[in-house]
Amino acid sequence: METPNPVKYLIFANGEVGDGPLVRRVLADAAGAAVVAADGGARVAQYYGLPVQTLIGDLDSLTAAELAALAAQGADIRRYPEEKNETDLELALLLAAEQGAMWIRVLGAVGGRLDQTLGNVYLLALPELAGRDVRLVAGRQETWLLYSGESVIHGTPGDTVSLMPISGLVRGVRTENLYYPLRDETLAFGPARGMSNVMQAETARVWTQDGILLVVHTLGRA
């Protein structure tokens, strides 16, 4: 089995496959990344033809035959009790952080349960992930967190960008190369002030004084 890149981690959650252009871009960028499956996320990894190096979680979503096959393929299986405080994806993210990963991409984090999808988004705010490039990717969308200071969004003119405050108030928000400019504004949790903006160049910049923004970047018009 190929030795994984200790800096890059590709994590598969137990949601929908969500194949699409941004997912394929991630897979191309993830050459040599360590592959971790959170329980039933092993099936999502198999869809993309990737061998699971670490399987983690309570493993209640996989059959005995699937577990045996993963073990035979050399997967490191880390089983946790069903009654635990963390979700399976949370355990996978904490493992990646513990191993020093700086680039983490999560596939399969979107599914039919809204609570699970929202919970997966909230996991981006884990203290252990601070300072790491962590994104959830599905289809033609990716989402990540922006903290205070300057941040750059890479894309294509016409892409959709939404900036959503998730920490109450986000103050001093300023943007560059977005169709609807924000000029030292305060975004509040609730109003849709930062939704559905449009990139005007291959890069857009966002500055904030304090608070946390959730970025949702969609290829093309959403």
Report the CATH number that the domain containing residue 113 is assigned in CATH. Answer: 3.40.50.10240
Number of domains observed in the structure of the chain? 2
Residues 127 and 65 in one domain: yes
Which of 84, 119, 139 is the C-terminal boundary of a domain?
139
Residue 1 pLDDT:
43
Residues 70 and 13 in one domain: yes
| pLDDT band at residue 152 using 50, 70 and 90 as cut-offs | very high
Which of 123, 139, 155 is the C-terminal boundary of a domain?
139
Residues 121 and 50 in one domain: yes
Residues 47 and 120 in one domain: yes
pLDDT tens digit sequence for 42-95: 999 999 999 999 999 999 999 999 999 999 999 999 999 999 999 999 999 999
pLDDT tens digit sequence for 105-142: 999 999 889 999 999 999 999 999 999 999 999 999 99
pTM score of the predicted model = 0.93
> Which residue range forms the structural domain that includes residue 187?
146-218
Residues 103 and 181 in one domain: no
Listed in sequence order, the residues at least 6 apart from 66 whose beta carbon sits closer than 8 Å to its beta carbon are 42, 43
pLDDT at 3 exceeding the cut of 80: no
Residue 222 pLDDT:
84
Quote the percentage of the chain above a pLDDT of 90.
94
| pLDDT band at residue 5 using 50, 70 and 90 as cut-offs | low
pLDDT at 220 exceeding the cut of 70: yes
Residue 6 pLDDT:
63
Three-state SS across 18-70?
CCCHHHHHHHHHCCCEEEEEECCHHHHHHHCCCCCCEEEECCCCCCHHHHHHH
Residues 194 and 152 in one domain: yes
The neighbouring-strand residues paired with 152 are 205
Which of 139, 160, 195 is the C-terminal boundary of a domain?
139
Residues 54 and 26 in one domain: yes
What is the DSSP code (8-state) at residue 74? Answer: T
What is the DSSP code (8-state) at residue 200? Answer: S
| Distance of alpha carbon 108 from alpha carbon 18, whole angstroms | 6
Mean pLDDT of the chain: 95
